[in-house]
Structure 1
Amino acid sequence: MKAFTYERPATVRDAARLAAERPNAKFIAGGTNLLDLMKLQVETPTTLIDINRLPLDKVEATADGGLRIGALVRNSDLAADPRVRKDYAVLAKALLAGASGQLRNKATTAGNLLQRTRCYYFYDTSKPCNKREPGSGCSAIGGFNRIMAVLDTSDACIATNPSDMNVAMRVLDAGVETLSPNGATRTIPMAQFHRLPGDTPQIETALQPGEIITAVTLPKPVEGLHVYRKVRDRASYAFATVSIAAVIGKADGKITQARMAFGGLAHKPWRVEAAEATLAKGGSADDAADAVLAGARGYGTNDFKIPLTRRTLRAVVTDATRT
């Protein structure tokens, strides 16, 4: 591990200011992803900014009937919150499907938003990776790419976003609150927070230098059946091959509204409104899958993800109409 400076700012504004002033600084909270990357020298920050003592660890009701989730709320605490379990069950289910109990006790809401890809070649510093070293190439294209993306990839990168939580946040239309070093605040819609790879896969989010996440906001609850289905290689402690977060409304055994977001398919949580409209209008799961998978492309060992997505969506719809 390379040497670094350690800072523990007293305020959120100080944390943002330090991040802007120090080249290659990183915020650290739970460290469940960052520390692993530092050990492998994938990440080599010159400064670690410890934000654990900042007052960002509360879940609070908002005036419009939603929730405001502090950036430092631990995944286990968020999944266990009675309001989340009752009104945002898809989020609780997604969180409980991720990692292990020990990791969920440390991992934070903001850290999960910023979780980096689990692409094999990103973690292997002996192999070219445009995300790790821009311009070096993408080893996953033409390599072993079983867990890689099949939607909106580029010649520069076919990595996926690994987070379970992010998929649920996308289906719930979450917003990401931030603070800039100059004190300015903004809320970034979840749909715009993560970026597609394009020619700059190393730029993964809409955050600007020094900008720090302070909270995630959820709008008022959406009624319906909350589902999180995760297809993975083993029953626990594994990332999604394909996942679906859904909130489905129905009447007389028929779907009347649907929200769906997919994990394991793209560089960001994937949501296609045309697929949701298809189900709400009485279309079949296969028709909805056609909309989701429009333009999908496999790269060899991940070709199976395309029919797997179709089967997984069909299973979610079948279970929802039977329940």
Structure 2
Amino acid sequence: MRIIHLSDIHVWRYAFNPLRLLNKRAVGMFSLIAGRAGKFRLERLHEVVTRVLELTPDHVLITGDLTTTALADEFREARSALAELLLDSTRVTVIPGNHDRYTTGSVRYRLFEEWFGMFAPPGPYPWLRQLDEETAILGLDATRSHLSARGFLPPEQLDRARELTNGSSPVPKRLLVACHYPLAAPAPYVVELGPKRMTNAAEVAAWLATVGRHLYCCGHVHAAWSFVPEALPDQICLNAGAPLLRDPTGLRPPGFLQIELEGNEVTTIHHAWTGDDWSTRLLSQTPNFFGVRMPTITPV
């Protein structure tokens, strides 16, 4: 099975209507005007979509931040630009990021659900979406409308996630957990994640330590990685990075991840835009990752 993992597309639009700026969006607009707009090259999105289509994925997973300030115009543009990837809702999963819940109004009027809600199972989070007999995505939503970029997984959502993975029903052999927020980051990004991490990340990590081998697909920090967190030895944490990021340093090449699941093996490839063409690099290859399932431990 081939899964393409995208995140943090950040479609942006300027908004100068004062009625739209009487909230956190004013901060976002100032950030765009001050230079953030130049960091996300919208004109490159067509190349991203074309590249993904060339890879003929079995499933596309997008882990949030399709927009920048949750404007209806941004959602509309994101939906239009990604249209060729979204033709079959059974082969696409989309979860929100904090920028898709940027204001209380965007949450109240359920803008994310209006434009992308059809690319996930109906009903509240968490949910378990079966991709084939062995593979499923567990969707989590730790986003909230808040002045900071920090997330929080509500207790009722965490309790339900425990129920879905506590052994009373079979846990899929190949489990992917989709959440916008990383629980941990490789050493170069630990400081960056710190002030905008999930506030109850430790509690969520303690639960995930009981579910056995799994992939944790996230975004939020604009850098592609594949690593095993020290506190979660049965997890491969995958961050797709940001496909439209302008990176003059060369340290954060913009792109997305190709996840290959073949039997028990997991292979992760990063596709990066070099400015003229695409390059690929192998991030990780684990031959027997799903071959050994750890026993489920139900938290006391």
* TM category, shorter: under 0.3
TM-score norm. by structure 1 comes to: 0.26
Q: Tell me the TM-score normalised to structure 2 length.
A: 0.27
Asked which structure has the greater CA Rg, the reply is 1
